[in-house]
Amino acid sequence: MMDYQIKRSSRSLSLRLSINAQGKVVVSAPKFMPEFMIRKFVEAQKDWIESNLAKVQKNQVKIKTDELYIFDKKYQVVTNHNASRMGVLVQGEQILVNNLSKKTPTKIQQQIEDFLKKTATKYISTRTAILAKQMKIKYKRISLREQSSRWGSCSSHGNLNFNWRLVHYAPAIIDYVIIHELAHRKEMNHSKKFWEIVRAHDSEYLIHKGQLRKKRYN
Ligand SMILES: [Zn+2]
């Protein structure tokens, strides 16, 4: 027997079926209609109910699987509309987005992106300083932006550029990209000599290079 909720109203003249956001079947019925008639009606609509329940449940799963990767670790994105102040924070396996009011999905997305950019900037500039010291290589400025196809670049003046989307990848892969760009300070090409410098600081660079190309986070 199907589970449903009856909503009686003196204003409704006929039976009407709906499914609410929680995935519950609701029947609007005239105030004095006998219950057996309502049950009969619901049973007759079984196919409609089942196909529409499936749709609602599919949408609920979509909200639940709103996830995102930081340093190759999976987090669930949870929006808190009753927060006392704005901000994004990592709590266990969740990314908590605090919103003062009900904002549009794009605004929440913007908050998450700003958080990711900040995290990437902090992490990549720290790692670059450490790796440059190990490689005995100097560089000038670091900037992070979202380049459509490149993970990093190095100008002839020694300015480094990284794609903040690298924040989704494992630390070893991010290190590879940094080592790659730093190596360009010595070799502005992809010669054998260049790859020797890369290998000297990342013995698994071929694996990391392959993973960077294969994995896609959005
Ligand atoms: Zn290169």
How many Cβ atoms sit within 10 Å of the Cβ of residue 85? 6
Q: Kindly tell me the burial class for residue 144, based on how many C-beta atoms sit within 10 Å of its own C-beta (0-12, 13-18, 19 or more).
A: buried
Q: Which two tokens stand for residue 209?
A: 């290079």
Centre of ligand 1 to C-alpha 195, Å, is 9
Per-residue pLDDT band for 61 (boundaries 50, 70, 90) equals: very low
Of 2-11, 53-62, 148-157, least confident by mean pLDDT is: 53-62
Centre of ligand 1 to C-alpha 127, Å, is 18
Instruction: Establish if 163 belongs to a structural domain.
Output: yes
Of 78, 103, 128, which one is at a domain's C-terminal end?
Answer: 103
Centre of ligand 1 to C-alpha 46, Å, is 61
Residue 23 to residue 57: CA distance in whole angstroms: 7
Centre of ligand 1 to C-alpha 210, Å, is 14
Centre of ligand 1 to C-alpha 122, Å, is 23
In this structure, are 59 and 72 located in the same domain? Answer: no
In this structure, are 52 and 132 located in the same domain? Answer: no
In this structure, are 20 and 75 located in the same domain? Answer: no
Instruction: Establish if 108 belongs to a structural domain.
Output: no
Q: Which residue has the higher pLDDT, 116 or 214?
A: 116
Specify the pLDDT at position 104: 67
In this structure, are 127 and 142 located in the same domain? Answer: yes
Q: How far is CA 110 from CA 17, 31, 86, 105, 124, in A?
A: 38, 48, 13, 9, 21
User: Number of folded domains in the chain?
Assistant: 3
In this structure, are 146 and 171 located in the same domain? Answer: yes
Per-residue pLDDT band for 54 (boundaries 50, 70, 90) equals: confident
CB 27 within 8 A of CB 48: no
Report, as an integer, the average pLDDT of 7-30: 85
Give Cβ neighbours of residue 29 (< 8 Å, ≥ 6 apart).
Answer: 6, 7, 8, 9, 12, 15, 38
Specify the pLDDT at position 59: 54
Report, as an integer, the average pLDDT of 26-48: 91
**3-class SS of residue 141:** coil
In angstroms, how far is CA 68 from the centroid of its own chain?
3
Specify the pLDDT at position 148: 63
Residue 203 to residue 208: CA distance in whole angstroms: 10
In this structure, are 58 and 71 located in the same domain? Answer: no
Q: How far is CA 72 from CA 75, 107, 111, 117, 175, in A?
A: 10, 24, 20, 16, 13
Give residue 24's domain range. Answer: 4-63
Of 5-14, 63-72, 90-99, 203-212, least confident by mean pLDDT is: 63-72
Specify the pLDDT at position 55: 75
Residues of the chain with pLDDT > 90: what percent? 55
Per-residue pLDDT band for 171 (boundaries 50, 70, 90) equals: very high
Centre of ligand 1 to C-alpha 114, Å, is 27
Q: What is the average pLDDT score of the chain?
A: 87
Centre of ligand 1 to C-alpha 180, Å, is 6
In this structure, are 178 and 138 located in the same domain? Answer: yes
Residue ranges of alpha helices (H) inside 10-104 are: 35-44, 46-64
Q: Which two tokens stand for residue 177?
A: 């990209």
pTM, to two decimals: 0.67
Instruction: Establish if 141 belongs to a structural domain.
Output: yes
Of 82-91, 162-171, 186-195, least confident by mean pLDDT is: 82-91
Q: What is the pLDDT of residues 103-116, one digit of tens each?
A: 566 778 888 889 99
Give Cβ neighbours of residue 2 (< 8 Å, ≥ 6 apart).
Answer: 25, 42, 43, 46, 49
In this structure, are 82 and 40 located in the same domain? Answer: no
Residue 125 sits in a domain whose CATH number is: 3.30.2010.10
Centre of ligand 1 to C-alpha 53, Å, is 52
Instruction: Establish if 92 belongs to a structural domain.
Output: yes
Specify the pLDDT at position 20: 78
Instruction: Establish if 197 belongs to a structural domain.
Output: yes
Report, as an integer, the average pLDDT of 165-184: 96
In this structure, are 197 and 132 located in the same domain? Answer: yes
Residue 186 has pLDDT above 60, yes or no: yes
In this structure, are 49 and 126 located in the same domain? Answer: no
CB 198 within 8 A of CB 180: yes
Q: What is the pLDDT of residues 141-165, one digit of tens each?
A: 999 988 767 899 999 999 999 999 9
Instruction: Establish if 71 belongs to a structural domain.
Output: yes
Centre of ligand 1 to C-alpha 143, Å, is 17
Instruction: Establish if 109 belongs to a structural domain.
Output: no
Q: Could you identify the residue written with the tokens 């449903």?
A: 4
